[in-house]
Structure 1
Amino acid sequence: MASCKPITKKVINSPESCVDDNLRGVVALYPKLLLHPKHRVVTLRRKNDSGRVAVLGGGGSGHEPFAAGLIGPGMLDGAVAGGVFASPPTGNVLYAITQLYKYNSGGVLVLLGNYTGDRLNFGKAFEKAKNAGIKVEGFIVGEDVASSQNKTGGRSMCGEVFLYKLCGAMAAEGHDLLSIRNMASEVNKNMATLGVCLSACSLPGQPPLFDIAQDEMELGAGVHGEAGIEKLKMGSAKETVVLILDKIRAHLKLQSKNRVAAMINNLGGTSLLEINIIAAEIKDYLDRKQIKMERIYSGHFKTSLEMHGFQICLLDLSGERGDSWLRLLDAPSGAGAWSGCDLSVGGPGGLAEDDDLPQAGEGKITSGPTLSVQEQEILRGSLRAASIVLVENEELLNRLDSGCGDGDCGITLKKFANAVLKYLETASLEYPSNVLWELSEMAETDMGGTSGGIYSLGLSAASQALSKAESNDRSAWLSAMCSSATAISKYGGAEPGDCTMLDTLHSAAMAFKENLGDDLQTLLLKINEAAERGAKATADMIPRAGRASYVARAHSRGEDAGARALALLLRAALDMS
């Protein structure tokens, strides 16, 4: 059903080009930065090896100035951008890591948000980088109070910017990779963020993501346009700040005489008049509680497009560690969105790509069983049918995703399906392990976001399992399916019963295992029936992983979109077999 909401006006060239146009603008504003346009990577200009650790940030676009605007001496060395509210693909993350390691032999620390797509895509990039001999460590940031009870921990909010500053300052002092990562882990335990929004944001070319009444506000709204955990009546600035800080103070167990650093994050559409009033109320609140506010920072740090709202983050500086962290916060920085910046000095901004750096693709896999010409055509027909059904169900999947996600599940899967259809026109399917590997690369490059990460990891794990098989039998394909589920669970943090596509995949795999000895027609029927049950079951589940787990249950609209998509493509593929 098409939305009747009006599309929100934005000053852009087109929804398709807005991310790349934004990055061109960043290097125009800060000529000491370098844009690598094919990979949507921005780095500090360097000619020589610094010998120290580089800090890389990134994630979906739409949060500007996060993360490219926070590159500069004493903060980030580079950033990788995904689509609007979508994780960057693995290949681009790998490019960014490799590019930074080229000029920073101390290694690369990657700070990523606690979101399924980022965990999956960045996780696969870490594995590839380590296999290539690169010193890299990743740290998942998550400090959101509203989602702190989530199975995989709280979402990453503006507290990630605190870690950009602290890790960047520590790297500038010459500390080693593990020391900086350990500090990040300790800081993450001692900060908390919570916010409210008064209106929803909208993706370029789309209407607002959710509805909110004129006299209401959403408590705990996310930075990807997710609705909050509770709708409340509008209150005064003082009442709203008290509501937020009471919850943060309880979460951090702050007491009188404790010390904190505070951050006010403008979610994009809040006036400076409002922000200044909020700052005054934060100071008054902490004074009343006899909590010493050592520093307060205010600005657009990690926005949500034009969302009218704000977040407050408190970092507990109590004890001896607080003095060290405060020193790092006070260390000089030249990042554009932080206080003090020399990046605007210099000539015109530039573009660069290092095509000789390792890319996501690693060549063909020519191991494992082979398929006869007839078997190849069966596989080709199955993949074609699965792709066509994803294209045909774009609107359904977008609608299922719109209540608890950003409404693009159908869009991203359609991109993947079209890429697969083009691939099938000329591809050799002799080695099924190679077919699955190439599909995983297409998922990575053509889909992006959470869905791309899930499918890329799952297909690459299945490919590795098939490459080790001795024959093209049922056991080999069962092993591939189980390996896929294991990899997705490992990096995504979800398990069966958490209301994700794993519920469909796990049900199908269990049916495959239980009916392995049946005739082919019965086996395929049982797998399809189990996949359908798994997808339908998600309608009654409480989401415990993925983006749906971050929002109030009232915003969920039926089955999980990813679970339904997998059930659809399995039915189409297996009906052709």
Structure 2
Amino acid sequence: MTSTATKFIAHPTEVVDEAINGYCTINSARVVRLTGTGVVALRKVHPNRVALICGGGSGHEPAHIGFVRDGCLTAAVCGNVFASPPITDVAAAIRYIDQEQRKQSQGSELPPRGILVVVKNYTGDVLNFGFAVREAAARGVSIEMIVVGDDVAFGSDHDGRRGVAGTVLLYQLLGCAAAEGLDVSELVKLNTSISKHLVTFGASLSSCTIPGSQRNKDVAHGTVELGLGIHGERGLEVMPFVDLSSVVTRALEKLLEKEAAVCPKTGKEDHSAFLLLNNLGSTTDLEMSVTLTHTFKLLEARGVHVVRAAVGRYMTALDMHGISWTLLRLPNHSDPILSNHLLSLADYEPSFKLGGDWIPLLAPATNAADYRVDIGERTSEELLAALLAKQSSALEGVASPAAAVHWLHVLRNLETQGDYFNQLDAKVGDGDTGFGVMRACRGAATIASRLPWNTDLPGSLRLVAHVVADAFAGSSGPLYGTFLVAVAEGLPDTTEGIDDATLCQLLRGSFIRGSEAVKSLGRAEKGERTMVDVLEGVMAAEAVHNATTVPALFTAAASAAREAADHVKTLRATKGRSRYLGGKEIGEADPGCELVFQWLSLAAASLSAAKSSA
């Protein structure tokens, strides 16, 4: 049984009205709400500038209400969620602006500059706004209407395409042009020129949910729908989500393919473009930035040079987990005058800013050198080279020491358990321990076979500690790095010539130092449900103290770790993220404790297997 989606709203029928009130409350110095309507307009209408109106159904915020400001929209008309606003509201917006323009121009020789209405290409919007515009024109208002159709997922011509995020880029450019002094007819002509080259294409991992309703539809888990509409309308195709690169590649292929079909005048010489990467609702900033990186790379590879770009939430679809790409190709070759004009509008200050935080359309860096600064920090490869430089050249060509074989066995097997550790951590923490394990194992594995284990055991361990701490990150990285550094202290450069009993004693001492270092850095004690419980449990085990061979030592340590990790499940956390669970962590495994058991168990298995085959 499917239930209604839970949202932070009072009542579905009042959500738009209350949202408009909230927006106007916080922005009251700049905007007003026309009583009894869903119209939000500038408090001060500029007398010598063409006013822009846009609107449509709510649920796409910040479009359009968030762009009512100087240099962009003069008014936005908000309908109910995904529903065109009524004719009366559109007419009220036109009447308010016309009255304010006439009032402000009194005593001036210049008449009001007029109004340009920007409408997305949806039947309800075109009909309702169109009726109000014709009615106003019949009364003598200087007014024109343009219809935007930038979504190239469907439709071979402008009239058959939906209006989506490109609308925001368009009316931002037109708003700046109006601020420069263009009249209504000139703005209409500019719109025609821009629209020829304006295309948008989207991709989503989910559909959207209207307040008070069930989800319109859903995108199957592990897939992404390309061309999904901003009201949840069906998309062009569904593909498996293999990785981000394949999704961005396919989306941009479709975008450029459709662009070539609907913008036939765009030639290879017209390679510069504006890019608007739009968050369709619930996509995280982290995902948006990663997608932007892939987008820049793939567009450049296809001969499209992004000269201005913006990323953020411009036209959303409620809670849709998706992204849309808007591309505006500059006609450098076919119309250089228009191209230069668009660049000047993009750089227009202070008007050209997009999004709730007024993010400017910026010129991206041409290469990494433009935004990176080298502070002389040495990489793990450089540290490895420095370590090896200290060793005798006689080491060259020598087979990997046994220590490297055992390390690689542990690292490669642990890396495969990333999902397991994420699942454990999701129950008692933030669900990312597995990712840290995989990063740390991959990083350490790249250097393990090349370390001078037989001639500089402490140095080798310290470099592994550096890699693990850096790659694991979070709170676990420094703790494991500290453990390994402390273990390295007191160990000899080589274990050759040391009998098993003495080596076991050295390893027990190192383990104790490691445990104490973790306790000190983490400010944790036994009984607080941390990895300290397992480390201390290992050292308290009689079998560990009695072991006289290295395989027996690690086997006993793994057994003690298992027993201690099971006991930890009964404890209430007083350290780490689990302490916020208020006892709900009791009965669940602790990922940090399980990790100690796993690497000890894997090491024991590798050592025992080597002994058996000897």
Q: Give TM-score scaled by structure 2 length.
A: 0.53
The aligned counterpart of 1:73 is 70
Which among 283, 287, 301 is matched to residue 274 of structure 1? Answer: 287
Question: 1:339, 1:185 → 2: CA distance?
Answer: 29
Which among 234, 240, 250 is matched to residue 243 of structure 1? Answer: 250
Question: 1:76, 1:119 → 2: CA distance?
Answer: 18
Which among 52, 57, 62 is matched to residue 54 of structure 2? Answer: 57
The aligned counterpart of 1:149 is 156
The aligned counterpart of 1:428 is none
Question: 1:97, 1:341 → 2: CA distance?
Answer: 28
Tell me how far 1:51 sits from its aligned partner: 2.3
Question: 2:69, 2:76 → 1: CA distance?
Answer: 11
Question: 2:270, 2:170 → 1: CA distance?
Answer: 24
Tell me how far 1:332 sits from its aligned partner: 2.2
Aligned residue identity for 1:322: S
Question: 1:274, 1:223 → 2: CA distance?
Answer: 19
Q: Which runs of 5+ in 2 are unaligned?
A: 102-111, 261-265, 361-614
The aligned counterpart of 1:82 is 79
Q: Trace 1:70-469 onto structure 2 (pairs within 5 A).
A: 70-104=67-101, 105-149=112-156, 152-253=159-260, 255=268, 258-319=271-332, 320=336, 321-333=338-350, 337=355, 340=358
In the alignment, is the contact (CA less than 8 A) between 2:149 and 2:159 conserved in 1?
Answer: no
Instruction: Give the SS at the match of 1:172.
Output: helix
Moved more, 332-341 or 28-37: 332-341
In the alignment, is the contact (CA less than 8 A) between 1:6 and 1:207 conserved in 2?
Answer: yes
Question: CA distance change for structure 1 residues 287 and 27 in 2, over 3 Å: closer, same or farther?
Answer: same
Instruction: Give the SS at the match of 1:17.
Output: helix
Tell me how far 1:112 sits from its aligned partner: 0.4
In the alignment, is the contact (CA less than 8 A) between 2:150 and 2:158 conserved in 1?
Answer: no
Instruction: Give the SS at the match of 1:152.
Output: helix
Which among 6, 11, 17 is matched to residue 14 of structure 1? Answer: 11
In the alignment, is the contact (CA less than 8 A) between 2:276 and 2:326 conserved in 1?
Answer: yes
Question: 2:46, 2:275 → 1: CA distance?
Answer: 35
The aligned counterpart of 1:412 is none
Tell me how far 1:337 sits from its aligned partner: 2.2
For residues 531-565 of structure 1, the C-alpha deviation after alignment (integer angstroms, 9 at most, x for no partner) is: xxxxxxxxxxxxxxxxxxxxxxxxxxxxxxxxxxx
In the alignment, is the contact (CA less than 8 A) between 2:270 and 2:330 conserved in 1?
Answer: no
Question: CA distance change for structure 1 residues 88 and 257 in 2, over 3 Å: closer, same or farther?
Answer: closer
Question: 1:295, 1:336 → 2: CA distance?
Answer: 12
Aligned residue identity for 2:348: A
Question: 2:89, 2:350 → 1: CA distance?
Answer: 26
Question: CA distance change for structure 1 residues 29 and 95 in 2, over 3 Å: closer, same or farther?
Answer: same
Question: 1:338, 1:249 → 2: CA distance?
Answer: 29
Question: 1:232, 1:54 → 2: CA distance?
Answer: 43
In the alignment, is the contact (CA less than 8 A) between 1:34 and 1:42 conserved in 2?
Answer: yes
The aligned counterpart of 2:600 is none
Question: 1:307, 1:332 → 2: CA distance?
Answer: 32
For residues 493-547 of structure 1, the C-alpha deviation after alignment (integer angstroms, 9 at most, x for no partner) is: xxxxxxxxxxxxxxxxxxxxxxxxxxxxxxxxxxxxxxxxxxxxxxxxxxxxxxx
Question: 2:123, 2:224 → 1: CA distance?
Answer: 26
In the alignment, is the contact (CA less than 8 A) between 2:274 and 2:328 conserved in 1?
Answer: yes
Q: Which runs of 5+ in 1 are unaligned?
A: 343-577
Aligned residue identity for 2:62: P
Tell me how far 1:289 sits from its aligned partner: 2.1
For residues 112-154 of structure 1, the C-alpha deviation after alignment (integer angstroms, 9 at most, x for no partner) is: 0000000111111112111211111000000111122379321
Question: 1:33, 1:117 → 2: CA distance?
Answer: 26
Tell me how far 1:333 sits from its aligned partner: 4.1
In the alignment, is the contact (CA less than 8 A) between 1:199 and 1:308 conserved in 2?
Answer: yes
Q: CA RMSD in A?
A: 1.9
The aligned counterpart of 2:42 is 44
Question: 1:96, 1:301 → 2: CA distance?
Answer: 22
Higher RCO, Cα 8 Å, sep 6+: 1
Instruction: Give the SS at the match of 1:147.
Output: coil
Aligned residue identity for 2:129: F
Matched positions, count: 338
Tell me how far 1:257 sits from its aligned partner: 6.0
Percent identical across equivalent pairs?
33
Larger Rg: 2
Question: 1:237, 1:297 → 2: CA distance?
Answer: 20
Instruction: Give the SS at the match of 1:277.
Output: helix
In the alignment, is the contact (CA less than 8 A) between 1:333 and 1:341 conserved in 2?
Answer: no
In the alignment, is the contact (CA less than 8 A) between 1:113 and 1:119 conserved in 2?
Answer: yes
For residues 282-338 of structure 1, the C-alpha deviation after alignment (integer angstroms, 9 at most, x for no partner) is: 110122123211011111100000000010000011321121112112212456726
Question: 2:54, 2:208 → 1: CA distance?
Answer: 23
In the alignment, is the contact (CA less than 8 A) between 1:72 and 1:333 conserved in 2?
Answer: no
Question: 2:157, 2:308 → 1: CA distance?
Answer: 30
The aligned counterpart of 1:33 is 31
Aligned residue identity for 1:337: G
Question: 1:17, 1:292 → 2: CA distance?
Answer: 45
Instruction: Give the SS at the match of 2:53.
Output: strand
Question: CA distance change for structure 1 residues 250 and 151 in 2, over 3 Å: closer, same or farther?
Answer: closer
In the alignment, is the contact (CA less than 8 A) between 1:258 and 1:317 conserved in 2?
Answer: yes
In the alignment, is the contact (CA less than 8 A) between 2:223 and 2:238 conserved in 1?
Answer: yes
